[in-house]
Structure 1
């Protein structure tokens, strides 16, 4: 299971680079795996991706050994369950504000005794064709990933309690939403906040989460941003597919049409 590899690599302290699939496309997921990304965030929060569409994207990740985490639209048990049953290796839960929010996500991702996820002959279990449900349940509990986004002022206040949840695997900082939540909307860049006060805040919060034993991550859309966060100990970096397409296409067009 790709998630097991992802979880082991996080625990080993490796730096992992992933892609936000903000364009609902199995082909983009597959290309990300071929290019060499470590994981894909399949965005079901800010896109029109359907349940079927997410499953096809998860399947594409599987074909290339790419770990897939679905950024779900709601912290709702049935929504998480259906994405997990499709074979996703875990979830990225947005807008988490409290330890209770984290526990709700854990309960939906994990089977008893760690959670309350229902067991069935689903794709994630290989339809129980070659592996018994009991063995699958144990493997899933050991390997699936629960990652949360810290992107509100309330979450900042509750970060210690959030990080105290044992089954939480990693913390990802949503700098753009965090900046907006704290009143920095006018200073936001298209690819996230580069306001020095937000950078300092995220660094401070990241150190706090790392001290609590949680790997931390953030979006990095340039080498300079990557180097900043990596030197601070951030392990999880992600870039947005559409932003990379725009940057690459615009750069090529500029080279081919000087002065345009």
Structure 2
């Protein structure tokens, strides 16, 4: 499966996908049939076993969704996600150049990185693909995303994104606002918005694509207008908004 999302991003195009933090191959299929281009399977906050991840990735492939995994903090999580078939790795809380370099090492095979090779996995078609052609294709195909979501990461933005192999920076507005001390207003706080706007400009000057989340179709539209290359709508937010709208209709009929 070619990583069309990575190709589009590197070509300067914009892509829209979805963030999903609970196990449901059925919803993955519905997202694909709806025309989304990628899915971020949230293994940082979601509850997924390695088998769950594999089935979610398999469902994504069946409907031409590019499967990306936001990994947890377990050092082995990147290896496991890639061996299940992930075409992208999104890593939270990357705050320094050294941490970004470690991400690349865990994603890429030698001599670039230190990823362990196994030709019996799904990506290698259980042994049908092997050797240098497979290893090189995997290195080239995988999308590496680092999350910028702390003041330290903001300060180190340029050195983080300068690490060879890092394809994109993803702004995490919720954690950024909390780390900045704005727990009540969150990402809507003017100081948080100021930092995000400055990050957009710093990325634009260096031709680095940015990604972020959106809670609604209006949010997606705004992010694309602001130049965000990789926008992921939050599935639970969309569902809760839809459920609330239905309930409101019923309430109004009883008034």
Same topology, TM > 0.5: yes
Which residue number in structure 2 is paired with residue 207 of structure 1? 201
Question: For 1:206 and 1:99, how far apart are their aligned partners in 2?
Answer: 19
Which residue number in structure 2 is paired with residue 258 of structure 1? 252
| 1:149 correspondence with 2:147 | yes
Which residue number in structure 2 is paired with residue 162 of structure 1? 160
Which residue number in structure 2 is paired with residue 226 of structure 1? 220
Residue 111 (structure 1) shift: 1.0
Written as runs of structure 1 = structure 2, the 5 A alignment for 1:122-137 is 122-129=121-128, 131-137=129-135
Q: Are 2:104 and 2:113, in contact at CA under 8 Å, matched by a contact in 1?
A: yes
Which residue number in structure 2 is paired with residue 23 of structure 1? 22
Number of aligned residue pairs: 253
Residue 37 (structure 1) shift: 0.8
Question: For 2:101 and 2:126, how far apart are their aligned partners in 1?
Answer: 27
Which residue number in structure 1 is paired with residue 236 of structure 2? 242
Question: For 2:2 and 2:232, how far apart are their aligned partners in 1?
Answer: 17
Q: Relative to structure 1, is the Cα distance of residues 200 and 2 closer, same or farther in structure 2, using a 3 angstrom cutoff? A: farther
Written as runs of structure 1 = structure 2, the 5 A alignment for 1:64-213 is 64-74=63-73, 76=75, 78-120=76-118, 121-129=120-128, 131-188=129-186, 193-213=187-207
Q: Are 1:125 and 1:133, in contact at CA under 8 Å, matched by a contact in 2?
A: no
Residue 161 (structure 1) shift: 0.5
Residue 253 (structure 1) shift: 2.0
1:186 is paired with a residue of what secondary structure? coil
TM-score between both structures, scaled by the size of structure 2 = 0.94
Output the aligned Cα RMSD.
1.5
2:188 is paired with a residue of what secondary structure? coil
Q: Are 2:216 and 2:237, in contact at CA under 8 Å, matched by a contact in 1?
A: no
Question: For 1:143 and 1:66, how far apart are their aligned partners in 2?
Answer: 14
Structure 2 unaligned blocks of 5 or more: none
Question: For 1:163 and 1:65, how far apart are their aligned partners in 2?
Answer: 29
Q: Are 1:43 and 1:70, in contact at CA under 8 Å, matched by a contact in 2?
A: yes
